[in-house]
Amino acid sequence: MTKNKKDTNTDFEVRSLDTIGKNQDNTSLSTWHNLRYLVFGIAFGIVLIKSEVVSWFRIQEMFRLQSFHMFGVIGSAVAVGAVSVFLIKKFKIKSIQGEEIILPQKTFNKGQIYGGLIFGFGWAMTGACPGPLFAQLGYGAMATSVTILMAIAGTWVYGLLREKLPA
């Protein structure tokens, strides 16, 4: 029996494809709790700009192998992230709410290749991945609002076509 994908609980299904949404804690709906993410976001935004990761020129240099900078940023970020995740697993560190920390396992699908290539095209064109888009706008590149709206439109069209795309 083939299940009609449209009738299945896509919320749950999609969460297995996406990284987020798995980790829920009951306090997450209070604004007070969420302010911490605002603070982390501010810190992240400042780093993105001061390291020029949000610069279109830096991205072009990366893809033309003219500068080590972006490779250094991403590489050292992954190194620190990987050591952190290793330590969290090894010592079974809990979140400050006392919960076990959940690290979602991803499953392979062709979207990671097709979607990855498509995003790569967009990354080299706009000089920005989603995080830097918001940082650019805050820094005063007002025309980036067009790029952000189009990125939202792209996400929406993906949602519309999702069942028809190879995965």
Cα 13-92-85 angle, rounded to 5 deg: 65
Query: How many chain residues are in contact with another protein, going by CB under 8 A?
Result: 133
Beta carbon nearer to another protein, 1 or 160: 160
Q: Which of 2, 32, 72, 91 binds another protein (CB under 8 A)?
A: 72
If binding is defined by CB under 8 A, does position 4 make contact with another protein? no
Tokens of 57: 């020129």
Question: How near is the Cβ of 1 to another protein at its closest, in Å?
Answer: 19
Question: How near is the Cβ of 40 to another protein at its closest, in Å?
Answer: 6
Contacts to another protein from residues 13-32, by CB under 8 A: 14, 17-25, 28-29
| Cα atoms in the 13 Å half-sphere on the side-chain side of 25 | 14
Contacts to another protein from residues 39-68, by CB under 8 A: 39-64, 66-68
**Alpha-carbon distances of 93 from 26, 77, 81, rounded to whole Å:** 19, 20, 15
Q: Which of 90, 92, 160, 164 binds another protein (CB under 8 A)?
A: 160
SS3 94: strand
Q: Taking Cα atoms as reference points, which of 45, 57, 166 lies closest to residue 117?
A: 166
Is residue 102 within 8 Å of 23, Cβ to Cβ?
yes
Helix 130-139, helix 31-50: angle, nearest 10: 80
Contacts to another protein from residues 119-158, by CB under 8 A: 119-131, 133-144, 146-158
Binding mask of the shown chain, residues 98 to 117, with x at each position contacting another protein by CB under 8 A: -x-xxxxxxxxx-xxxxxxx
